[in-house]
């Protein structure tokens, strides 16, 4: 009641920002994406081919996506999404101190391969990345199906998703609702999803499970004839096996046994161990504005993310959607990302930790990433649309907000090229 009174007081004083802040504080929960809802008028289908290439002979992925939206009568629609990923290459699995690195020449791909030396000396120097020795070859197939039913001002959605890899299976179900009010100027959306994953790594005799619950609440607001924005809150709770079964850690003087860790067989090297609970919070704010003088649209996004592993991140994205003559559209975009490291992350460990959690996965390190891309599309009549896009992404420790916290040993980059076609019946 006190918070509600604060909102009313702010409205009375007509201080827009204060009123919004007070309303945000009054919201009882967290959630995802609010979009103005209406059933599709005609069926449509999309195909997209993507070619992902990571630098330095690491991971390559060819991804094939197909999607269809099928209206069923006046009040419902079905959406199908299919993805096939063909993955090959090598991935970093371990960091070792420079003095323990033994460089093997003549490895495939022309790169020198680093392995662990048995010469155990002082380990106070730079970390060196060790890539997986066997080339990873994997095929991932994923399908999700969603049904939506539209009432006059509200729609309900039910969805299921399944993803299958040789060593990883994921099943999820989700339910969502969104409602328009305030003369359709405001849309409120709530979503709930449950995901159950089975993990069975190919070179370890373990069988693990992971569970996640996602809840989200979003609001989309039309501000005037040319602008709208969305704010989404999402809370994710994950439990059970949250480690990466292939990632290893180097613990100085760990020998072959260390409490709570599974040995890899190499002295001082163990499989990583992460906490079995994780709480994640994400807040996304999007703003879209139309510029009539250029018939163009500006999209601005910001995301703040925090979790119980002590990681905080900021993501900024901007894109400019510029229509041109004869149905062409050019969309340049930029993105900046920065995160600090998880509290149990180290490039390698100089001593055992009291909490028993260890990871040297570069994705849990402190770093920043800058990416930029361009999409070119062409609309033929009202039915057919083709598009191509390119993106270049660079991950660097020194890009982190507030400066570098570690050396550049884990820096990498990737490029992504896509080509797609869309047809509306």
Partner 1 sequence: MRINSLAFLLAATLNACATQVTPWERGHLAKPHMSMEPNRLEASIRKHIHTSKEASSGGYGSGGGGCGCN
Residues 154-213 that bind partner 1 (CB under 8 A): 159, 161-163, 165, 167-168, 170, 172-174, 181-186, 188-189, 191, 193-195, 197, 199, 210, 212
Told to check if 264 binds partner 1 by CB under 8 A, we report no
Taking CB under 8 A as the criterion, the residue among 95, 264, 406, 418 binding partner 1 is: 418
Query: What Å distances lie between residue 83 and 34, 138, 351, CA to CA?
Result: 24, 14, 43
Q: Residue 244 forms beta bridges with which residues?
A: none
Nearer to partner 1, 72 or 222 (CB): 222
Binding segment toward partner 1, per CB under 8 A, in 105-113, 227-235, 265-273, 402-410:
227-235
Told to check if 243 binds partner 1 by CB under 8 A, we report no
Reduce the DSSP state of residue 95 to 3 states and report it: strand
Told to check if 224 binds partner 1 by CB under 8 A, we report yes
Question: Does residue 407 contact residue 398 with C-beta atoms inside 8 Å?
Answer: no
Nearer to partner 1, 72 or 388 (CB): 388
| Residue 181 CB coordination number (10 Å) | 11
Question: Does residue 138 contact residue 128 with C-beta atoms inside 8 Å?
Answer: no
Interface with partner 1 in residues 310-349 (CB under 8 A): 311, 313, 315, 321, 323, 329, 331, 337, 339, 342
Residues in the chain: 425
Residues in CB range of 137: below 8 A, 6 or more apart: 87, 88
Q: How far apart are CA 293 and CA 223, in angstroms?
A: 19
Question: Does residue 242 contact residue 274 with C-beta atoms inside 8 Å?
Answer: yes
Nearer to partner 1, 100 or 395 (CB): 395
Told to check if 394 binds partner 1 by CB under 8 A, we report no
Number of residues this chain uses to bind partner 1 (CB under 8 A): 123
DSSP one-letter code for 340 = P
Q: Is 337 left (phi over 0), alpha (psi -120 to 50) or beta?
A: beta
Reduce the DSSP state of residue 280 to 3 states and report it: strand
Measured between its terminal Cα atoms, the distance across the chain in Å is: 51
| Residue 98 CB coordination number (10 Å) | 13
What does the block give as tokens for 17? 């920002």
Nearer to partner 1, 156 or 296 (CB): 296
Binding segment toward partner 1, per CB under 8 A, in 251-259, 267-275, 294-302, 398-406:
294-302
Nearer to partner 1, 97 or 366 (CB): 366
User: Whose CA is closest to 348, among 131, 130, 132, 127?
Assistant: 127
Taking CB under 8 A as the criterion, the residue among 23, 78, 107, 267 binding partner 1 is: 23
CB of 63 to partner 1, least distance (A): 6
The site string for partner 1 over 344-373 (x = CB under 8 A, - otherwise) reads: -------------------xx----x----
CB of 163 to partner 1, least distance (A): 5
CB of 7 to partner 1, least distance (A): 5
Told to check if 375 binds partner 1 by CB under 8 A, we report yes
Taking CB under 8 A as the criterion, the residue among 114, 251, 297, 397 binding partner 1 is: 297
Q: Residue 180 forms beta bridges with which residues?
A: 187
Interface with partner 1 in residues 58-77 (CB under 8 A): 59, 63, 65, 67
Q: How far apart are CA 355 and CA 275, in angstroms?
A: 9
Question: Does residue 423 contact residue 45 with C-beta atoms inside 8 Å?
Answer: yes
Binding segment toward partner 1, per CB under 8 A, in 4-12, 112-120, 350-358, 396-404:
4-12
Nearer to partner 1, 313 or 406 (CB): 313
Residue 94 φ then ψ, to 5°:
-160, 150
**Angle, CA of 396, 214 and 313, to the nearest 5°:** 25
Interface with partner 1 in residues 33-62 (CB under 8 A): 33, 35, 46, 48, 50, 52, 59
The site string for partner 1 over 91-130 (x = CB under 8 A, - otherwise) reads: x---------------------------------------
């Amino acid at each position: 009641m006190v918070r509600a009174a604060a909102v009313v007081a702010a409205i009375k004083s007509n201080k827009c920002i204060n009123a919004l802040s007070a309303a945000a504080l009054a919201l009882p929960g967290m959630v995802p994406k609010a979009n103005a809802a209406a059933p599709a008028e005609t069926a449509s289908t999309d195909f997209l081919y993507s070619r992902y290439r990571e630098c330095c002979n690491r991971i390559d992925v060819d991804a094939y996506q197909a999607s269809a939206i099928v209206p069923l009568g006046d009040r419902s629609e079905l959406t199908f999404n299919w993805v096939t990923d063909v993955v090959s290459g090598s991935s970093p699995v371990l960091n070792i101190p420079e003095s323990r690195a033994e460089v093997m020449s003549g490895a495939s791909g022309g790169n020198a391969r680093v392995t662990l030396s048995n010469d155990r000396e002082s380990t106070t120097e730079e970390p060196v990345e060790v890539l997986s020795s066997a080339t990873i070859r994997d095929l991932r197939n994923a399908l999700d199906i969603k049904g939506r039913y539209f009432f006059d001002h509200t729609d309900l959605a039910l969805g299921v998703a399944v993803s299958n890899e040789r060593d990883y299976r994921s099943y999820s179900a989700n339910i969502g609702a969104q409602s328009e009010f305030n003369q359709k100027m405001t849309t409120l959306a709530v979503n709930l999803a449950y995901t159950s994953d089975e993990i069975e790594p190919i070179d370890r005799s373990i069988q693990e499970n992971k569970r996640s619950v996602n809840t989200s609440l979003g609001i989309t607001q039309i501000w005037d004839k040319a602008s709208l924005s969305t704010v989404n809150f999402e809370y994710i709770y994950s439990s059970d096996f949250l480690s990466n079964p292939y990632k290893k850690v180097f613990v100085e003087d760990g020998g072959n046994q260390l409490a709570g860790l599974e040995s890899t067989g190499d002295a001082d090297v163990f499989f990583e161990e992460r906490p079995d609970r994780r709480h994640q919070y994400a807040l996304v704010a999007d703003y879209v504005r139309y510029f009539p003088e250029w018939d163009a649209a500006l999209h601005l996004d910001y995301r703040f993310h925090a979790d119980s592993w002590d990681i905080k991140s900021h993501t900024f994205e901007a894109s400019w959607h510029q229509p041109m003559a004869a149905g062409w559209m050019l969309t340049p975009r930029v993105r900046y990302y920065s995160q600090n490291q998880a509290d149990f992350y180290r490039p390698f460990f100089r001593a055992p930790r009291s909490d028993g959690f260890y990871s040297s996965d570069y994705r849990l390190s402190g770093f920043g990433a800058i990416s930029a891309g361009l999409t070119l599309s062409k609309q033929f009549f009202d039915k057919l649309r083709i598009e191509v896009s390119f993106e270049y992404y660079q991950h660097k420790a020194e890009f982190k907000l507030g400066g570098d916290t570690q050396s550049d040993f884990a820096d990498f980059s990737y490029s992504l090229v896509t080509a797609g076609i869309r047809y509306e019946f």
